[in-house]
Structure 1
Amino acid sequence: MSIKTGEQAPDFTLPRQDGTAVRLKELLQKSWVVLYFYPKDDTPGCTQEACSFRDSYESFKEAGAEVIGISSQSTASHEAFASKHRLPFILVSDEGGKVRKEYGVPSTLGLLPGRVTYVIDQGGTVRHVFNSQFNARKHVTEALEVIQRLRPAQPA
């Protein structure tokens, strides 16, 4: 079963690229979260997607959201990927794909891990889901548009 808009996002604790633990529930206490599942570090589509999130990261922060990339590679792989492409956001390692399964992220052609983005509000409710294996950049624009439209403006 895939997690859908309006449902609660399953909580998780996973290691980030530097090995420290990240818990979704703790991040949600501070901001909205854009959780994007991607197939593999350093592949063309995944690099394009990660660099698009990187290039828009300040806009996400200004809109009150944190970005988290999640795939099954190791923390060492994530650390190398983040360093190589100067990624300012969190990458977490879901070795074994447990969280991917909890969210119901589908595979493409039964082989490739899917590419799905979830926009999660501070109450833990999924406000938007975007699933597209081959349109990596659209994950970024869709997520940012949803946050800017739905998240209440914060006083300056």
Structure 2
Amino acid sequence: MAIQIGDKAPEVLGLDQNGKEIKLSDFKGKKLALYFYPKDNTSGCTAEACSLRDGYEELRAAGYEVIGVSKDSAKSHQGFIAKQELPFSLIADTDTTLQQQFGVWAEKKLYGRSYMGTLRTTFIINEEGIVTNIIGPKEVKTKDHANQILNL
């Protein structure tokens, strides 16, 4: 069953681009914008990451930390972070465990063919680790995502 508003987020989120384990308790006392995206270095995902990068100081001032998640490798994430100068960590969920827990690993369709992929979704987790908002795949504005979070 996918994580819903009101649910507690899992304690272990995964390994970041440097192989460091990221835990929910690392963010105690802060709100967390946990955003799932399909792929490093694609147009929509780059626009979303750059919006969050450009709004990062405002998000931090509002009490947020930002963590991105995709099934890309740690090495891919390192390149994406360097190229786009991202100030936040990216979780390498290569086996899609976290994406499945959050219900964002799902069947997608493109040009009539079906495949499994990541639904672009952001989960807002409060200071106690409870999911308070979900910005779903049809709602995420990649170029203005930081403002979307700030205006919740």
Q: Aligned partners of 1:13 and 1:128: how far apart in 2?
A: 18
**Per the alignment, do residues 13 and 117 of structure 1 end up closer, same or farther by CA in structure 2, a change over 3 Å counting?**
closer
Structure 2 equivalent of residue 69 of structure 1: 68
RMSD: 1.7
Structure 1 equivalent of residue 89 of structure 2: 90
- Contact 1:48 1:136 survives alignment (8 Å): yes
**TM-score for both structures, normalised by structure 2:** 0.87
- CA drift of 1:138 comes to 4.7
Residue 5 of structure 1 aligns to a residue whose secondary structure is coil
Residue 55 of structure 2 aligns to a residue whose secondary structure is helix
Structure 2 equivalent of residue 151 of structure 1: none
Q: Aligned partners of 2:120 and 2:9: how far apart in 1?
A: 17
**Per the alignment, do residues 128 and 13 of structure 1 end up closer, same or farther by CA in structure 2, a change over 3 Å counting?**
closer
Structure 2 equivalent of residue 21 of structure 1: 21
Matches within 5 A, 1:1-156: 1-27=1-27, 29-107=28-106, 108-109=108-109, 110-111=114-115, 112-132=117-137, 135-146=141-152
The alignment-based identity, stated in percent, is 37
Q: For structure 2, which runs of at least 5 residues remain unmatched after alignment?
A: none
Q: Give the letter for the 2:56 counterpart.
A: Y
- CA drift of 1:106 comes to 4.8
Q: Give the letter for the 1:114 counterpart.
A: L
- CA drift of 1:139 comes to 3.6
Q: Aligned partners of 1:106 and 1:136: how far apart in 2?
A: 19
Q: For structure 1, which runs of at least 5 residues remain unmatched after alignment?
A: 147-156
Q: Aligned partners of 1:116 and 1:137: how far apart in 2?
A: 14
- CA drift of 1:80 comes to 0.4
**TM-score for both structures, normalised by structure 1:** 0.85
Q: Give the letter for the 1:91 counterpart.
A: L
- CA drift of 1:137 comes to 3.1
